[in-house]
Structure 1
Amino acid sequence: MSSETSTPSTGKPRVAVVFGGRSSEHAISVVTAGAVLRAIDRTKYDVLPIGITADGRWALTSADPDRMAIADRKLPSVDDLAESADGAVLLPVDPGSREVVYTEPGNVPKALGDVDVVFPMLHGPYGEDGTLQGLLELSGVPYVGSGVLASAVGMDKEYMKRVFTSFGLPVGPYEVIRPQEWDRDPAAARKKIVDFAADHGWPVFVKPARAGSSFGITKVDDLAGLDAAVEEARSHDPKIIVESLLRGREIECGVLEFEDGPRASVPAEIPPVTAHDFYDFEAKYIDSASGMVPAPLTEEQTARVQELAVRAFEAVSCEGLVRADFFLLDSGEFVINEINTMPGFTPISMYPRMWQESGVSYPELVDRLLQAALRRSTGLR
């Protein structure tokens, strides 16, 4: 067992960085965690890296960030980083204890010491959607980021938009196809989408309602490509959402929790990508398409998108951090597309780049998030 997993006696807060997971965003979570592990101040925190394999096993892993990066277009995985093929990490089940235990078949369980705070670097279902947050609430361990409800709402594009609308935030046109609708009567479900396209125009974007990193998204130009797009989205989530094409500029804005409340970063702009139909997974992570930070906006436009980003953060009752994504329409109106309650932290990710430009360095950003989590207690929020 490595020195990283021994019980610390330094008196420093112990951070469990949890990453990987069962979603299609497993590899991006590993990359994100590698960047965070590189940035955490080891003079201030002790670190325990815990990876969740694609089949859900919690494993002790290497803490070497170099092994957690995308190399030669190959995506990393927790299985490649795990110290044992069958060892498992167990969180405390007693809220009065924060001791983490490591078990291997045929061996006596080993105590790894207490964990003071969890940094859950998971994206997508089974990590960013409130499930892990609920587990940590039951365990009584503080964690970085939003609570159960905000995480669940932030993962579900339908209910996110419903919350935004109820708080007066502008959203674009959308239609939802629930699992039973497509299973029971695909012709009727298909007609809903066709009618939506007739009202708002082709092309439309067919998306999984609860996924991220642009997985499962298809730009559909006409009826001929619709069924394949629906099946692709449903391979990631049985509920899908259909959105109209909004003509304008893609603008992002980060929100970070400070001691006196949430603040917005300078915004960024995602320019049109020429090698892809839209800003998809390949463009983001493989070809490393880069945004402009700060976005070339007027002072009034910057102030408006920052205001909307903070309002979205507060509407969903978020904590810690959020990246809010907008369209600046040709009409001059901002429309919010979605928020991400655990945005990417890879070296090329927009969230840390926006805060870097706003005067908060990457290590300071990580430290602020950990300190905010340590100030909070678990329980109903």
Structure 2
Amino acid sequence: MPSAGRVRVAIIFGGVSSEHDVSCLTAGGVMRAIDEDAFEVVGIGITPTGRWVQVTTDEMKAFDIVDGTLPRLGEERDEAVLLRHGGEGTGRVATLDGDSLVNVRDFDVAFALLHGPFGEDGTIQGLFEMFGVRYVGSGVAASANSMDKDLMKRQLAGAGLPVCPWITVTQARWQRDQAGCREAADELSYPVYVKPARGGSSMGISRAETPEDLVAAVEEALRFDPKVIVEEGFVGAREVELAVLGSRDGAPPRVSVAGEIAMHTASGFYDFVAKYTPKDEVVTLHVPAEVDADLLARLQKIAGATFTAMGAEGLARVDLFVLPDGSLFVNELNTMPGFTRTSMYPSLWAQSGIPYADLIAELILLAVSRPLGLR
């Protein structure tokens, strides 16, 4: 456990995935809101080429959307390295200066604001486990399985939770038997959504209205991931999201009020542009969603059960579909949802009584209270 005084938090952001810029935007939002009287921040960026670098808190606070452009780390900085520290649960970062290590800083807990592969998928969580460092969020297995939409659906279906019908297409299968893949997809009802299995932020996702649209959609998704899912689209469904927050002492996870994404386009497709550079005429986020008490209770029950079934920890956003007949389906669970002040996850908790700065603090303290090793 950290010693008395401010908890030292390493905020790790950027990364090599296609969501690098979104991660930098998230880091800026967190840094501007975090209580610096309670937490001492150590900024660690990962550049688009995978170089680890130290970043000052003032630089992080400046990360924002400027003239429609998201922030991005440059490659000109001196490289840093992560080190194992002798203290229990303590990590260390240092910058390389020739053969010397400079600007050596210790931290008590890691907060990886990394979206997408090589950050949200269990890889960096495994690194923290190897280094014996406490960290915010889900562990290796929950992160990896939740990131892979195919594995996630299999795990949720095995737990008896309702998931959207889907098929999985690998690059090898697509090259070997494209006709067979198309036949399998024809068992679904169109329109279908074609998604990289391990992507996020709607990168590489397409909506195929007819079987004729499928080939282009699969090939677009394969540009981002050699594993793709084709998922049945529900016509007339409401897309509702709930934020889940872990609890201490074995208590059930906490679940927020519901929010709803209302699209104002013909396709109803919540793509990357709509998420991060939105305009009112494209999308409206309703927080809270207009749902009656019975429906809210059902949504919260399934969201909490989804969090538990995936073995998630700390935080997750659970996305569900509400069909016109009232039936519910889990779309996905996101272990590192968008986390700027205006993102759905913090907005849902603000509406549920936990303001942004308090939510950041609670996530860090949940990580600090978690034991090291197997749990």
Calculate percent identity across the aligned residue pairs. Answer: 47
- Secondary structure at the counterpart of residue 246 of structure 2: strand
Post-superposition Cα deviations, 1:194-218, rounded to whole Å, max 9, x if no partner, equal x23xxx3221111101110011000
Please state how far the C-alpha of 1:11 moved relative to its aligned partner. Answer: 3.5
Distance 1:368 1:283, change over 3 A: same
Please state how far the C-alpha of 1:95 moved relative to its aligned partner. Answer: 7.9
Distance 1:111 1:277, change over 3 A: same
Post-superposition Cα deviations, 1:324-372, rounded to whole Å, max 9, x if no partner, equal 0000001101111001011111122101000000000101100100000
Between the aligned partners of 2:110 and 2:171, the Cα distance in structure 1 is 34
Match of 1:251 among 240, 243, 250: 240
Which range moves more in the overlay, 70-79 or 90-99? Answer: 90-99
Alignment correspondent of 2:276: 285
1:269 aligns with 2:264: no
Alignment correspondent of 1:225: 213
Please state how far the C-alpha of 1:96 moved relative to its aligned partner. Answer: 5.2
Which structure has more strand as a fraction of its residues? Answer: 2
Which range moves more in the overlay, 357-366 or 340-349? Answer: 340-349
Alignment correspondent of 1:212: 200
1:104 aligns with 2:93: no
Amino acid at match of 1:338: E
Unaligned runs of 5+ in 1: 1-8
Alignment correspondent of 2:68: 73
Which range moves more in the overlay, 85-94 or 137-146? Answer: 85-94
Please state how far the C-alpha of 1:74 moved relative to its aligned partner. Answer: 0.8
Between the aligned partners of 2:71 and 2:99, the Cα distance in structure 1 is 29
Distance 1:232 1:103, change over 3 A: same
Distance 1:276 1:104, change over 3 A: farther
User: What is the correspondence of 1:291-306 to structure 2 with a 5 Å cutoff?
Assistant: 291-306=285-300
Alignment correspondent of 2:168: 176
- Secondary structure at the counterpart of residue 284 of structure 2: coil
User: What is the correspondence of 1:128-207 to structure 2 with a 5 Å cutoff?
Assistant: 128-193=120-185, 195-196=186-187, 200-207=188-195
Distance 1:217 1:95, change over 3 A: farther
Distance 1:99 1:284, change over 3 A: closer
Distance 1:94 1:177, change over 3 A: farther
User: What is the correspondence of 1:284-363 to structure 2 with a 5 Å cutoff?
Assistant: 284-288=275-279, 289-363=283-357
Post-superposition Cα deviations, 1:110-133, rounded to whole Å, max 9, x if no partner, equal 252321000010011000000000
Cα contact 1:99–1:111 (8 A) shared by 2:
no
Between the aligned partners of 1:152 and 1:367, the Cα distance in structure 2 is 25
Between the aligned partners of 1:241 and 1:334, the Cα distance in structure 2 is 20
Please state how far the C-alpha of 1:222 moved relative to its aligned partner. Answer: 2.0
Between the aligned partners of 1:268 and 1:159, the Cα distance in structure 2 is 26
Q: May I ask how many residue pairs the two structures share in their alignment?
A: 366
Q: TM-score, normalised by structure 2?
A: 0.93
Cα contact 1:95–1:139 (8 A) shared by 2:
no
Amino acid at match of 2:239: E
Between the aligned partners of 1:264 and 1:301, the Cα distance in structure 2 is 14
1:234 aligns with 2:234: no
1:29 aligns with 2:18: no
Cα contact 2:31–2:61 (8 A) shared by 1:
no
Cα contact 2:95–2:104 (8 A) shared by 1:
no
Amino acid at match of 1:134: G
Between the aligned partners of 1:111 and 1:54, the Cα distance in structure 2 is 22
Alignment correspondent of 1:6: none
Distance 1:99 1:131, change over 3 A: closer
Cα contact 2:196–2:224 (8 A) shared by 1:
yes
Between the aligned partners of 1:180 and 1:222, the Cα distance in structure 2 is 23
Cα contact 1:273–1:283 (8 A) shared by 2:
no
Please state how far the C-alpha of 1:305 moved relative to its aligned partner. Answer: 0.2
Amino acid at match of 2:68: R
Cα contact 1:276–1:283 (8 A) shared by 2:
no
Cα contact 1:219–1:277 (8 A) shared by 2:
no
Please state how far the C-alpha of 1:70 moved relative to its aligned partner. Answer: 1.3
- Secondary structure at the counterpart of residue 135 of structure 2: coil
Alignment correspondent of 1:3: none
Between the aligned partners of 1:14 and 1:204, the Cα distance in structure 2 is 46
- Secondary structure at the counterpart of residue 258 of structure 1: coil
Amino acid at match of 2:285: G
Amino acid at match of 1:179: Q
Between the aligned partners of 1:285 and 1:68, the Cα distance in structure 2 is 14
Between the aligned partners of 2:26 and 2:110, the Cα distance in structure 1 is 15
Distance 1:101 1:121, change over 3 A: closer
Amino acid at match of 1:89: V
